[in-house]
Amino acid sequence: MPRRRRREQSLERVLGTPALFATAYGNVGSSIYYALGLTAVYALGLTPLVFVVAGIIFAATAATYAEGTVRYPEAGGSSSFARHAYNEVVSFGAGWAQMLVYVVTVATSAFFVPHYLAIFWGPLDSNPWDIVGGIVVIVVLVVLNTVGVQEAAKVSIVLAVIDFATQVFLVLLGFVLVLHPHVLTANVHWGVAPTWTRLAIAVPVAMLAYTGVETVSNLAEEARDPARSVPSAYKLVAGAVFAIYFTLPLVALSAMPVKRFGTTFSTQLARSPEQGGHANDPVLGIVDNLGVHGLSLHLLRIYVGILASTILFIATNAGVIGASRITYSMATYRQIPEIFRRLHPRFKTPWLSLVIFAGIAPICVILPGSVTFVGTLYSFGATLSFTVAHASIVALRRKDRNGEILYRAHPNLRFRGVDWPLFAIVGGVATGISFLVILVQNPTTRWVGLGWLTLGFAGYVLYRRRYVKASMRETVKAPPMMAPALALEYRMILSPVVDSLQSRDALHLSCRLAAERRSSIVAIRVIVVPLELPIDTELPEQEDLADRLLDEAHDIGELYGVRVIERVARARHAGREIVEEAARRNAEIIVMGAPRLPRRTRRSAIFGKTVDYVLKNAECRVMVGAGRRAVA
């Protein structure tokens, strides 16, 4: 009982569904503070309907990411899926589009922080001070991430819960005070406000509502049991965000209905601050028009302003971290120069990728000071990345038609021996059409987006031919970064755990190495599933043992003050899974414990089948702590 109680309180370890959901919602849910206004610019009175359509597309996308992430629990998202489904060229295209998404996410979140802080100083609500404020936010976060100051995960989770509760409160308050069905129907002027063209653009722009969908994919590396927690977390995130985006726009358009302004229809929700509108702070606009007055309104404005700016600050930081992660992943696979994965000699952080892709690039996006530009540019990158992700899952289903996978999303259609993923097919068609709409209907976004892709592919071809000297399609991993002689820098250490004295000694050794070099340790417990059983069969005794061993690994890590990522894996072959996990995480060393077998029983094995397999097949260094006897 004490062990279980301690695990439930340690949400910051991102072990299961609740922590994954809360962390992801803190990023995805933050988009309400800008997506509502940006979408209303195009959709006007049909904003609630547009969010429903975008929500259906997102549900399909969430299913795709859930299945892909369980298959390949590594940072990279759509880029990783494409690598396994197609080749390195497609993987680079997805990764480069994803990089654009992170750049715009950082720019968008940072740009809207000062708009909510304008409750304290009015000029922050308009150019140029909103641009200056956004740049300050980006610079501060890049500096903090470069020196290695990490946000408190528990604080982020608490804020995410408060944020969701606040949004629910505003919905309930709005339903009581301002919601009027006849106002909502009067808001709609079919084909006029909005026009059919602007309505078509509104759907991909509404995907801003799901900024941060990659968060769960990236966190899967730190989830204890991705096969179970990742799909559940995606379902919860999709459900919670959909519920807010289905209801809050109804309140917003009841409080700020569509009216005629001169010769055009518009709503205060879609008008700029200079026009007296709330496109840049839509949630504050809802608060101002709920019919609350006096001190209550003043306090509610301050509360929402502080909460929104804090949540957006954390979301900006998540984008900064995401940009550095995808950069590191792309450099590891020799898609961009290796210099972008080199760590600062003192702070051990990828400083160059942070400065360029999380600092300079987002600042360039902010400088025009246009909210519609950042919204459509996000949609350009996101719809392209999502389309590749959907296509990759379809290709993987066809490619591995008889393979075992731990999680299979639904619905599916069995045809000619393949379980075709209907969610990925429908989602891929929808995001593909959305990409084409953005490409055709928005000239500025089209040329900036295509320019980004052209620049990326030109650099990819040049780097591959001149420096890597490898085929465009070939997967080539960069060697582990190591200093000369024995002064090795182990950024990532993999330590398999079993119930033996030697395994515990090896974990202590891993922790000593990590403590000296500020490294991370992945403690992995492989549950070997017999061939006669399905790979996802529940094995309660093995799962309980895995929990006990990983809890023990976490406690040992705390003794040394090092970070231990806990991982449960299901496989047919323990050694193969350990080698593959080390490759996925780009671990520099595997540290294992094993008893040395007596001479008379050795034959071809020295330590045992698992350890010997790892010694022969691992691409990184392997260190084995051996003893004469095992302790059960």
- On the question of pLDDT at 504 being above 60, the answer is yes
pLDDT at 228 over 90: no
What local confidence, expressed as pLDDT, does residue 452 receive? 94
Per residue in 338-375, pLDDT (tens digit) is 888 777 777 777 888 888 988 888 898 888 877 788 88
- What's the pLDDT tens digit per position in 396-427? 999 888 777 888 888 999 988 889 999 999 99
Quote the CA–CA distance of 531 and 245 in Å, as a whole number.
45
Select from 3.30.300.250, 3.40.50.150, 3.40.50.300, 3.40.50.620 the CATH code of 492-627. 3.40.50.620
Confidence (pLDDT) at 8: 32
The pLDDT confidence band at residue 146, using thresholds 50, 70 and 90, is confident
Q: Which residues, at least 6 apart from 289, have a Cβ–Cβ distance to it below 8 Å?
A: 178, 255, 256, 268
Tokens of 612: 């010997």
Which carries the bigger pLDDT value, residue 555 or residue 518?
Answer: 555
74 or 113, greater pLDDT: 113
Q: What is the pLDDT of residue 10?
A: 32
Provide the b/e sequence for 222-235 (b: ≥16 CB within 10 Å): bbbbbbbbbbebbb
Contact criterion met (CB below 8 Å) for 590 and 547: no
Residues of the chain with CATH 1.20.1740.10: 2-414+426-460
Per-residue pLDDT band at 378 (split at 50, 70, 90): confident
**pLDDT given for residue 317 in this prediction:** 84
pLDDT (mean) for 80-99? 92
Phi-psi region of 348 (alpha: psi -120 to 50; beta: other; left: phi over 0): left
How far apart (Å, rounded) are the C-alpha atoms in residues 567 and 475?
26
Q: State the pTM of this model.
A: 0.82
DSSP 184-231: HHHT-BTTTBS-HHHHHHHHHHHGGGGTTTHHHHHHGGG-S-HHHHHH
Local confidence band at 605 (pLDDT 50, 70, 90 cut-offs):
low
Q: 606 falls in which pLDDT band (50, 70, 90)?
A: low
Tell me, what amino acid is at 334? Answer: R
Q: Where exactly does CATH 3.40.50.620 map onto the chain?
A: 492-627
Of residues 358 and 452, which shows the higher confidence score?
Answer: 452
Q: For residue 385, what pLDDT is reported?
A: 92
Q: What is the mean pLDDT of the segment spanning 278-296?
A: 89
CA distances from 550 to 81, 510, 571, 583 (A): 28, 14, 17, 21
The pLDDT-based confidence of 481 (bands split at 50, 70, 90) is low
Rounded CA-CA distance 487/498 in Å is 29
Residue 602 has pLDDT above 60, yes or no: no
For residue 94, what pLDDT is reported? 92
How confident is the model at residue 292, as a pLDDT?
A: 87
pLDDT of res. 562 = 87
Rg of the chain over Cα atoms, rounded to whole angstroms, equals 25
Distance between CA 603 and CA 512 in Å, rounded?
A: 34
At residue 150, the pLDDT reads 57
DSSP line for 60-84:
HHHHHHHHHHHHS-STTTHHHHHHH
Backbone angles phi, psi at 413, to 5 degrees: -130, 120
pLDDT band for position 17 (cuts 50, 70, 90): confident
pLDDT at 524 over 90: yes
Q: Name the residue with higher pLDDT: 9 or 491.
A: 491
The pLDDT of residue 598 is: 59
- Residues 57 and 59: their CA atoms lie apart, in Å, by 5
- As a whole number, the mean pLDDT across the chain is 84
Nearest to 382 by CA among 102, 110, 67: 102
Residue for token digits 């160059």?
352
Exposed, middle or buried by CB within 10 Å (0-12, 13-18, 19+), for 458? Answer: exposed
Residues 6+ apart with CB under 8 A from 201: 42, 376, 437, 438, 441, 442
Find the mean pLDDT for residues 427-456: 93
pLDDT band of 15, cuts 50, 70, 90 = very low
**In the prediction, which pLDDT does 632 show?**
33
- Of the CATH numbers 3.40.50.300, 1.10.3720.10, 3.20.20.70, 1.20.1740.10, which one belongs to the domain with range 2-414+426-460? 1.20.1740.10
Count of other CB atoms within 10 angstroms of residue 210 = 25
Q: How far apart are CA 283 and CA 574, in angstroms?
A: 51
Q: What are phi and psi of 257, to 5 degrees?
A: -70, 165
Helices (H) then strands (E): counts for the chain: 24, 9
Residue 236 has pLDDT above 60, yes or no: yes
Q: What is the pLDDT of residue 491?
A: 75
Residue 265 has pLDDT above 60, yes or no: yes
**Per-residue model confidence (pLDDT) at position 11:** 28
> Residue 480: pLDDT band by 50, 70, 90 thresholds?
low
Residue 251's pLDDT band (cuts 50, 70, 90): very high
Range scoring the smallest mean pLDDT among 286-290, 318-322, 493-497: 318-322
| Per-residue pLDDT at 5 | 34
- Tell me what the mean pLDDT of segment 488-514 comes to: 85
Is residue 575 a contact partner of residue 65, using CB atoms and an 8 Å limit? no
User: 128-131 — which CB contacts under 8 Å span 24+ positions?
Assistant: 128/369, 130/280, 130/369, 131/366, 131/367, 131/369
Q: Residue 222 pLDDT more than 80?
A: no
What is the 3-state secondary structure of 260-279? EECCEEECCCCCCHHHCCCC
Mean pLDDT of 230-245: 85
Share of the chain above pLDDT 90, in %: 28
| 290 or 598, higher pLDDT | 290
pLDDT of res. 151: 55
| Mean pLDDT in residue range 551-565 | 88
